[in-house]
A and B are shown apart, each in its own frame.
Chain A
């Protein structure tokens, strides 16, 4: 049976009990029985992440050391099984979904901070360390880890590396790639490499930069050396309240046009404000058309001046009110609201389909008008919360996946928005990755030749395409659907009804 390779391997494995048992017992030998999940019912909780796609893996392993990861990867090679790395499962593009089954390697138990070197402003951590924990551990010494995805209290550094995650503060501090100095990477062959020199600098080709953002298709990082950033002397947060999304988006261009780069510059529309306020009671006005959340940081005197300048620009562009957070607690409350915005949308509808398109800042007003028009066309509400400063939109189409008529309209709406972004000179994903969800959309952006070069680069690292297969690149059609049906039939015998 093992003669059948490639696409059908998962199915073969899942259909052959003795092979499956063999795999599980060997995985257990590597990590111990309590670190392997193999019963179909228990695998259900690894069929999802924070996006909409779902697929059951054949097995899940929770290793604790690099050596264990190496052995798991080698085993997967022997069994011809796909390997999918997963952190906390907060991804928004389906990156951690085992779309072809196989083994999911969960890094949540690899969660130790290995060393902190304040003199050289760097820390080495295991991939399962939570993003915000790193800041929590280094704050007392005057440092923080700058990239701050909204899920930073949950998401892992390893996941951030895979997705090259952004966040509100990436406007001035840069995205994950600007903060990764070195990676210990287990390659799809099971070999272990470091992507930088011992000093964390690149000598020769920039392997670190190549691997960051490769969405788990180049290997799995088992140690990550990150840059620590000194905390600014002063931080101020402003909340500017506007009657319309139009006014707020014009203000964004005006602020950046005035030569000011705020630490963060975020926009939320009225619908979002309502959801956030219901969840956090942080002072977001539910009757506003849109708000801008502006963080300014730096030296105390400079920040004061920036606060005045930004407040004036906001008022000149129609802000009815500009509030300044008066304490650290008020700042934290405003940020908690912003960062919980996505989850808060659960108060408005059972599901959201989040888009991650980017447009040049000056195109924001017309893009948001287009989003509004799409919302009318598909007859579904769209809530906007996004990194306005760098033109990274997050329109969220609110729908109910139980209602099949909703789904077609949701997908159509998402597609139209992304098409528009690309037409306006933007891209289909700013920070969430391409993953499964946007692998068809990436073709809007690149020619076949462009994609072929990328695929060749991937194949250098991942020649058998066992690592996180079917991600990033437009899918090949055909046998997948047949396979799904056969796997479903087998699972049904176990009492699991794949639907």
Chain B
């Protein structure tokens, strides 16, 4: 047995603040069970592109054997979709997500981006996602672009292709002209409410997916909940955290904790899987800060995904919908939150809806936050695989529970000219209730 002892020379390692915790790295016993579940490993069959390989690279940096600035470290930490499929199958319980985000933060510190990139990132993460008024302004501009006829004009002139923005344009969802602006508005149930819940309205959900936020509130109200769109809430911070912007993520978290603490709520309901996973993990952001750790812990404990919450209720029977559906599992619902049965049970409760399972339903669709923008090639290959699996079921509707997945799958279907709908699970439930 070759024995590893102390490092012999110095490579640039992790700084102490926000380093990937050694205790998590040490949990990996390199059994390899994560390999087949990893989307990037499935595309490359290369060990570096596997969770086990990435953890080993972090171990090597932590041991002082590999320089944090090595190209392979950066490449692999950003090639990872952070879908966390590996976590769900890991027998030793390695919390991989708690490694990759600090690792990215360390890379950002150690390897500063050019000034223009830093300014752009600050603009996006702090100005746009950090300030909902700004976010709504930007979303409004997109809505205007889509609805005013400007888009048709721009597309016809071929300007987008010229600027290399045609792919980005195709990814944009249809943004409605009406947004949900959380300002304390309430949805009342018929009769006396059994539950008081706060709706986490989200950034993209409250704008591009505003109808889904409204559907969520209606479905909850229909099932005996008084729903309040808690004022002063903002973006969950997941996008910033995934991009290694820990400070910005923390600011987002604090604002949401403060906003929701003011009300006595039975649960905080979130309908975006990615946001839900981030909200449930706020406590990891405040290591060494007992006051905020405690507040974050209390906040996270009351967060429920909408499917998870509805599944605990004695559901009012929905109306009939004759549909063949297939379920595309959002990574951050299935892997990060380990919620897989609840959405399927809900679908089974809609009369007329027949669920046909697709192969690899929990393999990432390639959306993964902003992954489809920064890694278009891998993203496209995962999307094609997802569409093939989904279309093979013969379903007329693909159900998901996360805005990123819905946009990604919908854009792929549009490109292929397929007339299959993509819906959030509460949109389908809402439709079923309206059909009564």
Residues of chain A at the chain B interface (Cβ within 8 Å): 37, 39, 41-42, 44-46, 48-50, 52-55, 62, 88-90, 99, 106, 108-109, 111, 128, 130, 151, 153-155, 278-280, 340-347, 350-353, 400-402, 404, 407, 411, 436-437, 488, 492, 495-499
9 further A-B contacts with Cβ under 8 Å, apart from A45-B47, A46-B47, A108-B45, are: A44-B65, A45-B57, A48-B56, A52-B2, A106-B47, A154-B33, A278-B93, A343-B29, A407-B3
Would A499 and B91 be within 8 Å (CB), given that A42-B48, A44-B57 are in contact? Answer: no
Is the pair B8, A347 in contact by a Cβ cutoff of 8 Å?
no
Closest 8 CB pairs of A and B: A346-B92, A343-B91, A340-B91, A108-B45, A45-B53, A343-B31, A350-B26, A346-B29
Residues of chain B from 88 to 130 with CB closer than 8 A to chain A in the complex: 90-94
Is residue B30 within 8 Å, beta carbon to beta carbon, of the partner chain?
yes
CB neighbours (8 Å) of A341 from chain B are 91
Is residue B436 within 8 Å, beta carbon to beta carbon, of the partner chain?
no
Residue of A53, A278, A499 touching B8 (CB-CB under 8 A): A499
Is the pair A44, B9 in contact by a Cβ cutoff of 8 Å?
no
CB neighbours (8 Å) of B7 from chain A are 497, 499
Residue of B28, B36, B72, B92 touching A344 (CB-CB under 8 A): B92
CB neighbours (8 Å) of B93 from chain A are 278-279, 344, 346-347
* B36 → chain A closest CB, angstroms: 6
Is the pair A89, B48 in contact by a Cβ cutoff of 8 Å?
no
Q: How far is the CA of A34 from the CA of B32 in the complex (A)?
A: 22
Is the pair B4, A488 in contact by a Cβ cutoff of 8 Å?
no
Would A41 and B32 be within 8 Å (CB), given that A279-B92, A347-B93 are in contact? Answer: no
B39-76 near A? 1/0 per residue, CB < 8 Å: 00000011110101100110010011111001111000
Q: How far is the CA of A344 from the CA of B90 in the complex (A)?
A: 8
Q: How far is the CA of A107 from the CA of B65 in the complex (A)?
A: 27
Is the pair A343, B92 in contact by a Cβ cutoff of 8 Å?
yes
Q: In terms of DSSP, what is the predominant structure of the interface of chain B?
A: loop
CB neighbours (8 Å) of A402 from chain B are 26
Would A128 and B45 be within 8 Å (CB), given that A411-B1, A498-B65 are in contact? Answer: yes
Is the pair A345, B29 in contact by a Cβ cutoff of 8 Å?
yes
CB neighbours (8 Å) of B64 from chain A are 497
Is the pair A151, B5 in contact by a Cβ cutoff of 8 Å?
no
Q: How far is the CA of A50 from the CA of B56 in the complex (A)?
A: 12
CB neighbours (8 Å) of A280 from chain B are 91
8 residue pairs from A and B, CB less than 8 Å apart = A39-B72, A41-B72, A45-B52, A49-B30, A151-B32, A279-B91, A346-B91, A499-B63
Q: How far is the CA of A407 from the CA of B4 in the complex (A)?
A: 10
Q: How far is the CA of A499 from the CA of B4 in the complex (A)?
A: 6
Residue of A90, A109, A404, A498 touching B45 (CB-CB under 8 A): A109
Is the pair A497, B11 in contact by a Cβ cutoff of 8 Å?
yes
* B31 → chain A closest CB, angstroms: 4
Q: How far is the CA of A13 from the CA of B70 in the complex (A)?
A: 23
Residue of A278, A350, A401, A497 touching B65 (CB-CB under 8 A): A497
Is the pair B9, A497 in contact by a Cβ cutoff of 8 Å?
yes
Would A88 and B35 be within 8 Å (CB), given that A48-B56, A346-B93 are in contact? Answer: yes
CB neighbours (8 Å) of B27 from chain A are 346-347, 350
Q: How far is the CA of A284 from the CA of B56 in the complex (A)?
A: 31
CB neighbours (8 Å) of A492 from chain B are 8-9
CB neighbours (8 Å) of A340 from chain B are 33, 91
* B122 → chain A closest CB, angstroms: 30
Nearest residue, chain A, Cβ from B63: A499
Is the pair B1, A346 in contact by a Cβ cutoff of 8 Å?
no
Is the pair A41, B1 in contact by a Cβ cutoff of 8 Å?
no
Residues of chain B from 129 to 149 with CB closer than 8 A to chain A in the complex: none
Q: How far is the CA of A53 from the CA of B33 in the complex (A)?
A: 19
CB neighbours (8 Å) of B94 from chain A are 346
Q: How far is the CA of A285 from the CA of B108 in the complex (A)?
A: 46
